[in-house]
């Protein structure tokens, strides 16, 4: 089982981790230095993008040729700085000015760029607001983002534009083959699908993770600052599992932290992922009420298990809260088994309470 590392989002919009913060028994003082990746397996290279670009290579599906390898990030990537302002909104392009001798943007690429019917900018604000009631059950906004963001690949505050086929340079003029999701440095990056991972480090994408589904479909998540602890070549992952952390590796070095999200159905050419990402957010917003209800049901069942034990009348019953379901267990219930986790939690909590009752004295008191 892959151990996930949880980072905490401060009010400034940066993610930070403290040794005392743990989730599901996993503490945050782990080393997330990316391991040296083995070469990606043959036969899974992305198909070519739109003409006139050459076919992208497994370690560099966002450009026609690799740039010099990026310096691997340190443990967990660049450490968040308390009080640092929120990340700026995404800008067209990758923030790099082409050299003076780059020449004009080729007309054939411009025609492709202009052929895209673009949608408006998107962000995770509505989803964060939809998940806010989880705070009534002791779930922080950071934890809510980890368990309630559905298939969306970045947990927490994030924004992106419809930048598919925007101009890019280096080496040579090319088109942007994905969507850049801008978020705070170190924000968790989640798997959008179930599959196995491939890890690359170098070239334009820097530290990157592929999530490859059984039919060859894959997501390519690039410019990471670190990997989730325990992640290695071929590790199986599930939807929503943290695989890495937002960064600026590769040709994004020094720019706004973001994740380049690229989608290849059945291993073919990349397709515009903007509408897919928008749908991920819409689906998660629609599922938020059911997630909140599971928490309410689990907490109520755990509390009722104590109240319904024969012969027990907790002191201050009318005014004092009874046993509250452990937050870590509630998180486990939602994250690991959304359909049946609440029931399993209620049963486990009832069993725990039953094990703490002095049944002999209860029997004497009720006879």
Q: Which of 90-104, 263-277, 342-356 has the lowest mean pLDDT?
A: 342-356
**pLDDT at position 113, please?**
82
Per the model's pLDDT, the better-predicted residue between 301 and 31 turns out to be 301
**pLDDT of 45-91, one tens digit each?**
333 334 433 333 344 443 333 333 333 333 333 333 333 334 333 33
Q: Cite the DSSP H helix spans in the chain.
A: 107-114, 125-131, 141-148, 274-307, 327-336, 341-356, 359-366
Q: Which of 40-49, 134-143, 326-335 has the lowest mean pLDDT?
A: 40-49
Give the predicted TM-score (pTM) of the model: 0.61
Cα–Cα distance measured from residue 264 to residue 162, given in angstroms and rounded to the nearest whole number: 17
**pLDDT at position 307, please?**
53
Cα–Cα distance measured from residue 39 to residue 48, given in angstroms and rounded to the nearest whole number: 20
Q: Which residues of 192-224 are buried (b: 16+ CB within 10 A; e: fewer)?
A: bbebbbbbbbbbbbbbbbbbbbeeebbbbbbbb
Cα–Cα distance measured from residue 362 to residue 1, given in angstroms and rounded to the nearest whole number: 42
**pLDDT at position 98, please?**
67
pLDDT, the chain, mean: 70
Q: Is the pLDDT of residue 333 over 60?
A: no
Per the model's pLDDT, the better-predicted residue between 299 and 196 turns out to be 196
Are the CB atoms for 248 and 223 separated by under 8 Å?
Answer: yes
Per the model's pLDDT, the better-predicted residue between 262 and 24 turns out to be 262
Q: Tokens for 230, please give them.
A: 């325990």
Q: Is the pLDDT of residue 192 over 60?
A: yes
Q: Which of 37-46, 65-74, 91-100 has the lowest mean pLDDT?
A: 65-74
Phi-psi region of 315 (alpha: psi -120 to 50; beta: other; left: phi over 0): beta
Question: Angle at CA 38, nearest 5°, toward 33 and 40?
Answer: 120
| Phi and psi torsions of 123, nearest 5° | -155, 175
pLDDT tier for residue 96 given thresholds of 50, 70 and 90: low
Cα–Cα distance measured from residue 8 to residue 14, given in angstroms and rounded to the nearest whole number: 8
């Amino acid at each position: 089982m892959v151990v996930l590392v949880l980072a905490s989002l401060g009010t400034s919009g940066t993610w930070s981790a403290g040794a005392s913060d743990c989730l599901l028994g996993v503490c945050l003082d782990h080393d997330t230095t990316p391991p040296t990746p083995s070469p990606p397996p043959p036969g899974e290279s992305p198909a070519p993008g739109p003409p006139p670009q050459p076919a992208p290579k497994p370690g560099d599906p966002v450009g026609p040729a690799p740039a010099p390898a990026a310096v691997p990030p340190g443990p967990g990537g660049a450490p968040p700085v308390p009080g640092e302002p929120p990340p700026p909104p995404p800008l067209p392009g990758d923030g790099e000015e082409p050299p003076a001798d780059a020449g004009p943007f080729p007309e054939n690429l411009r025609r492709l760029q202009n052929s895209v019917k673009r949608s408006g900018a998107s962000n995770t604000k509505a989803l964060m607001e939809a998940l806010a009631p989880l705070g009534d059950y002791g779930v922080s906004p950071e934890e809510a983002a980890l368990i309630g963001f559905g298939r969306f690949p970045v947990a927490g505050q994030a924004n992106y534009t419809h930048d598919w086929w925007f101009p890019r340079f280096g080496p040579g003029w090319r088109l942007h083959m994905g969507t850049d999701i801008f978020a705070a440095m170190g924000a968790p990056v989640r798997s959008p699908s179930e599959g196995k991972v491939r890890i690359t480090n170098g070239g334009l994408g820097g530290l990157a993770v592929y999530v490859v589904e059984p039919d060859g479909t894959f997501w390519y998540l690039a410019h990471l600052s670190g990997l989730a602890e325990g992640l290695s070549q071929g590790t199986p992952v599930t939807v929503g599992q943290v695989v890495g952390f937002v960064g600026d590796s590769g040709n994004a070095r020094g720019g706004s932290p973001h994740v380049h999200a690229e989608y290849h159905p059945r291993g073919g050419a990349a397709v515009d992922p903007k509408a897919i990402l928008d749908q991920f957010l819409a689906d998660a917003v629609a599922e938020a009420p059911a997630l909140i209800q599971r928490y309410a049901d689990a907490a109520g069942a755990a509390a009722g298990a104590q109240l319904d034990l024969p012969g027990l009348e907790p002191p201050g019953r009318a005014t004092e809260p009874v046993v509250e379901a452990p937050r870590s267990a509630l998180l486990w219930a939602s994250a690991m088994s959304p359909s049946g986790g609440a029931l399993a939690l209620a049963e486990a909590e009832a069993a725990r309470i039953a094990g703490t009752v002095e049944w002999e004295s209860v029997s004497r008191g009720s006879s």
